[in-house]
Structure 1
Amino acid sequence: MFITVLHGEHKEDLFNIHCKVQILLDGIKHRCGCEDEEEIELADVSGQVKNLLQNKHLSAAELLGERETYVLLGVTTNGERPSEGGFVPLLIDENIINSKFLAKLATSQEQKSPSPRMKSRRSHKKSTLDIPAAGGLRTHSPHGSRTRTPIASPKQSRKL
């Protein structure tokens, strides 16, 4: 699985997204020649920021779609945290970086919310149910784990 990152003057590079976000961002910085940028981010071609900096511990494949195209952004910091700053496209291409892209980028900066792709993944996660010990169940672990075995009643034992 790979993505295409647009940068510079009509340049593009392919990147594997089967890695942690931090490793992907470091690879993009190195290969795209933007080591002088303190932080970088990606946006889709419509201007929707992918919020990779806020999810560095996740796999990039969880946040980015395979075979999709993204625009490289530089992060300008107004404070101590990158999330307090703004984004500057590191792509020179009037066909993509237009007023519509910049308007969407500006609204993404204001909202600072997870991408719709991330929201949909979160809503599909299975929830776990923690059931406290009840009558008829006994914990067999010396460390108090939640593994429980039903205790058979004398009538049930005779049937077996």
Structure 2
Amino acid sequence: MFITVLHGEHKADIFNIHCKVQILLDGIKHRCGCEDEEEIDLADESGQVKNLLQNKHRSAIELLEERETYVLLGITITKLAAWQEQKKPSPRMKSKRAHRRSNLDIPAAVGLRNHSPHGSRTRTPIGSPKSSRKN
């Protein structure tokens, strides 16, 4: 029962998955030369991350398919957390956006298309905002 892990440039190693996830991850770190990485994980070839870090005490054979190929991922949690905080708009930006939306004059039924499967809760203009102001 093994998997192939792709890492580096054109490098691949085979690992036994008949063990705990934590032991597998430690072995991958050691053999692939990424011991300085804080956390690692695997993704299948379609890009689906396996979230092995959340299941460290489970058997790897329960989470991974034998004879499959996986891509090694290095996870930098601190950078990800900082990036998510930067993505959040400031309260000032929220108020400006809300103010802009309230000033936009769009006719109630003409030129609108309902894209929501939940009825008429959300509506989006078909044309540009400039064309609706000219009417």
Q: Displacement of 1:75 after TM fit? A: 0.3
Q: C-alpha deviations, 1:77-96, integer Å up to 9, x for none?
A: 128xx9x589xxxxxxxxxx
Q: State TM-score, norm by structure 2.
A: 0.58
Other-structure match for 2:90: none
Residue 52 of structure 1 aligns with an amino acid whose one-letter code is L
Residue 4 of structure 1 aligns with an amino acid whose one-letter code is T
- Distance in 1 (CA, whole Å) between partners of 2:43 and 2:25 is 13
Q: C-alpha deviations, 1:96-118, integer Å up to 9, x for none?
A: xxxxxxxxxxxxxxxxxxxxxxx
Matched, 1:70 2:70: yes
Structure 1 consecutive aligned stretches of length 4 or more whose deviation exceeds 2 Å: none
- Distance in 2 (CA, whole Å) between partners of 1:77 and 1:60 is 23
- Distance in 1 (CA, whole Å) between partners of 2:82 and 2:36 is 17
**Identical pairs, percent:** 82
- Distance in 2 (CA, whole Å) between partners of 1:51 and 1:9 is 23
Residue 15 of structure 1 aligns with an amino acid whose one-letter code is F
Q: Which runs of 5+ in 1 are unaligned?
A: 87-160
- Distance in 1 (CA, whole Å) between partners of 2:10 and 2:38 is 22
Residue 60 of structure 2 aligns with an amino acid whose one-letter code is A
Residue 31 of structure 1 aligns with an amino acid whose one-letter code is R
Residues 10/36 of structure 1: CA separation in 2 closer, same or farther (3 Å cut): same
Other-structure match for 1:23: 23
Matched length: 83
Other-structure match for 2:97: none
Does structure 2 retain, via aligned residues, the 8 Å contact 1:76–1:85?
Answer: no
- Distance in 2 (CA, whole Å) between partners of 1:24 and 1:56 is 9
User: What's the secondary structure of 2:8's corresponding residue?
Assistant: strand
Other-structure match for 1:41: 41
- Distance in 1 (CA, whole Å) between partners of 2:21 and 2:82 is 20
